[in-house]
Structure formats: structure tokens, C-alpha cells
A and B are shown apart, each in its own frame.
Chain A
Amino acid sequence: MNTTVANAADTIAHRIAATIDPLFTLIDTWRDSLETRLAVVDEPSAAELDPAIAALVRPALDHSSALITGAGFVAAPGFLHDAPWHLAWWLSGTNTFRAAAGGGVRRLDAESDPDAEQFRDYTTLEWWRTPARTGTWHLTGPYVDYLCTDDYTVTITTPVMVDGEMAGVVGIDAYVVRLERELLPVLRESGHPCTLVNASGRIVASTDSRHATGALLRLDGLASVLAPLHEHQGQAVASVLPGGQFVVPCGDTTLALVFATA
């Protein structure tokens, strides 16, 4: 393997991780704060919790230039005694979903009546299902979030635990368009054709115009290299694919950089 390429890939992978890590740190802070708060509450209620969550997430949404376009808490069904299904989710002023004139941070109006036509059981969705299974945070997407905000989104969620039970998830949404704007210059700096993929091999951004964001990168051996990232099992390590491409995990983000060496 070419050491120069390996070093370049390593540097870029670190810089990608450094761009995204602050989001994980923020979500961890929210989770810790909520877990501390909920540990001492006997009968948690939406009425009491919602203002606290709003206060927690609003500062991150007020920055109109930030990556974050939505943030909040989604409760496990039955956890809150006054709201069996509950989303406490806020959208930033730059979020275009049903934005009223004037903008500003506003709450997502989600259907929480299980008998209603528009209701969707959110525990079947990837951003709930995967953290519930692995017990740790998960990056969902890029995906078209047609249930909530109608936009092309990456969602990061992590479980909130109370007395060993999952009380819900906290998380953030980011527009893929903005993510690409931040990440593409970093990818280009390497001077090599390179592609950033999620743990399912879905393309997040690429310097190669033939690799569209949202498409699956189909390379021999890529799926097995990414498998540990997908399930948060073991340590993913830099590897060389049979086709000669170099795959480097981006820190703990579960994203990986694929470097063409040819």
C-alpha cells in the first residue's frame, strides 16, 4: 500500500470526524442532562418535560448557519403518563418545512394519536430501531424524511436510559445539502478521488461526479469492512479492498472514507 495515500486518507478521515464530532458531543450532553433529570421524577409527563427539552435544544437551533436543522426528544411509547406517543422536536428557522413567513424556531407538529390516518409508529423507523437495538447512538441517512420534515436529511439519535429502560431518544437532524457543503472541500483537499459513505455503504459526499449522494457504493468487499461500523461491534480498522481501494473509518462517526488508489 502506498504510504503517502494512507497518510492522506488518515488526515482527511480525522478532519471529517472533527466536523461531525461536535454534534455527537452535543447530543451526549443533552442525554446526560435528561437522564439526570428523569432519574428523580416519579411520574414523567410531557407537560413538565417539553419546556425543559425546548430550553435544552433551542440554543443549537438559533444559529442559522449551523448544520443542525431539527432537534429534540422522542419518548418511548407509554413512558410519559400524559402522552402515550410523544415527539418533542423543534425545527430551526432555516428549516423550510411548512415555514411561516418570518421563520424562527418552531415546534414540529407531529401526529401522536395512534388512530389517526397520518399516525406512524416511529418505533419502526431506523432512527429509533437501531439505537434501541445497539444501545448506543446511530447515524441514519441520508434519507428523505417524508414523515417529519419532507427533506433530505441525516438524523443522529441516541437512547435516553432511565432505571435500565429506554425512555426515548434524543437527537438532531441535519440537511444533507449543508453537510455536503461542509464536507466536500475537506474531501477535495486530499487530491485523490474519494467518497464518504455511511455504515450501509450509502454515499454521503464524493469528489467523483459518477458517485451520487444517496446511491449505494457497490465495491467488492466493502459491506464486510463496514459491518462492524453498522452494529457498533468491535473496532473498524483501515482496510484495502480487493479492487485496491483504501477504506478508513472516520473516528467514531460510523462514516468511512473510500479512497481510490489507482
Chain B
Amino acid sequence: MPQATSRSDATRAVVFSPLEGAGRAELVEQRLTDAIVAGVLRDGERLPSESELAKSLGVAVVTAREALVALRDKGLVLTRRGRDGGSFVTHDRDASMRMIDARVRALSRIELRDLSLHYAAIAGMAAEVAADRASDDDLASLVEIDARAELGSPGGARRAMGRFQLEVAAVSQSPRLVHEELRLQAESGPLLWMCLREQAYRDRSRQARVEVIEAVRAVDPAGARRATVDHIASATEWLIDEKARLESPEPNPQPAPDAEDRKG
């Protein structure tokens, strides 16, 4: 009984908690930072104006301005005045990698594992349902996305990963899973798929896709889920190891076997 009471108190508390955890400017800032780090917004790209940004995100102009100032302070955005002025993304690959590394250091192992578990819950369920609901056309588009994957670079492997997972979510016929997949790709993707800096993990990602495709072809929902969840688990193990390497006290932690590979 005390259990039940406290639970209902907790759910009541959620109802009346502030609508957003952080301030709105921070939310806008995080959204744009994620997009820049993930490469959705590219280096040199012009951002919408303050008022356009405010309108499309549904926030006040001052909020959008505040977020842009914060991005400028982080060095992710450059503002130029004049006729061709505006805010531009300034973010190259090295800066992107430094930011991701900083995020890996800032998050605890517990948080990284929780993030991975959340993503596996979404992606695993999507794969399970997709295997049951895929038509021949759906299967053909999954095969097509896999065939077009460019595994030579981390960026190519990441894009293939994202497109494939999104298509799997769409094949599950759930608007909510699609929405959540997109949101988590922006939020967790850059961390979770850090392992794609290594060729061995890029090959592993291909292998996981092939396993999912075969499970979908065989109408094997459990198999599709397992292949998806196992793949996310192995990416998470790499991430936790990478965190240990980044936190290692030696100035030059042991170089990874394929160090030049990681620049891509």
C-alpha cells in the first residue's frame, strides 16, 4: 500500500511539474547543437534568421536570440553583418570530434548505458514490429538503403545507419516510433555511433543490417529485434571503453590500432 500511494504521488507530481526541464533557450540551443554535431546542419550553412527561427520553433524572438548567442559563445555559429549577413554554422570535423569527446567525458557510464537502453527499446521494438508488417516493397527499400551504404568513412556509415533505422521505424507503421527514432538519432546518434570511426565497427554495422533484412524476409520479429539490440549493445561497449580511454590519466593513452582511420 505505501508503494502504491507513493507511486500515485509521483505520477501526480509529474502532472504539475514544469513543462520543460530546462529553459526554452537551452532547449533551442541543445537542438541546434545536436543538429550541428550530427552534421544535419553543415559547416558554412546559413541558419534561418532570429525571427524565422522563433516562428518555426514556436518560441519568442528573444529566446531564439539567446540561443544563437550561446551557440556563438560555443564557437558553433558565426554572425556576419551586412547585406549577405546572418548566422552561419562554423563547425569542421575536428571541432565536431572534440565536442563529442567532451560529451562522452561529461556523461557518466550510467547515463551512457541508459541512453543506449532507451534507444535499444525504441529501435528494437521498431525492428520487431517491422519484421511482421513489411511488404515486399518495404523489404526492397531496406535492401536498397543497405546497398547504397558508403562504409569507407564514419560519416557515410553513420548516414546509412540513420537512414536504415528510420526506414525500419517507418516499416513498423508507427508514427510515434518514427518520431522517437528521429529525435533519438539527433540526440544520441553522435555518441552511440562513435564506434563507426573504426572500420571494424563499420563492417559490423553492415553485418547487423544484413541480419535485420534476413529476419524481416523470414518474418522473424524476435530475430530482427535481437540483431538490432545486440548491435546497439556492442556499440555501447565500445563507447564505455572509449570513455575510459578519454579519461585515462596518461597524456597519450595507448593508440588505437587504426588511428588514422579515426580522423575521417
Contacts and interface: CB of A to CB of B under 8 A. Distances in A.
Chain A interface main SS type: loop
Contacts of A213: 173
Contact-residue size bin, chain A (C-beta under 8 Å from the other chain): 20 to 34
Interface of A: 98, 100-101, 117, 124, 126, 142-144, 146, 150-152, 200-202, 213-216
Contact of A150 (B58, B137, B144, B179): B179
26 contacts: A101-B58, A117-B39, A124-B141, A124-B144, A126-B137, A143-B170, A143-B173, A144-B169, A144-B174, A144-B175, A146-B169, A146-B170, A146-B182, A150-B175, A150-B178, A151-B175, A152-B175, A202-B135, A214-B133, A214-B173, A214-B174, A215-B132, A215-B173, A216-B132, A216-B133, A216-B135
B182 to A, nearest CB: 7
Nearest to B144: A124
B8 interface: no
Interface residues of B, number: 21
B135 A144 contact: no
A122 to B, nearest CB: 13
Nearest to B41: A117
Nearest to A141: B173
Interface in B141-180: 141, 144, 166, 169-170, 173-175, 178-179
Given A124-B144, A144-B170, 11 more contacts: A117-B42, A126-B137, A142-B173, A143-B173, A144-B178, A146-B170, A150-B178, A151-B175, A200-B137, A215-B132, A215-B173
Contacts of A202: 133, 135
Contacts of B175: 144, 150-152
A98 B56 contact: yes
Most buried by A among B56, B173, B174: B173
B7 interface: no
B40 interface: yes
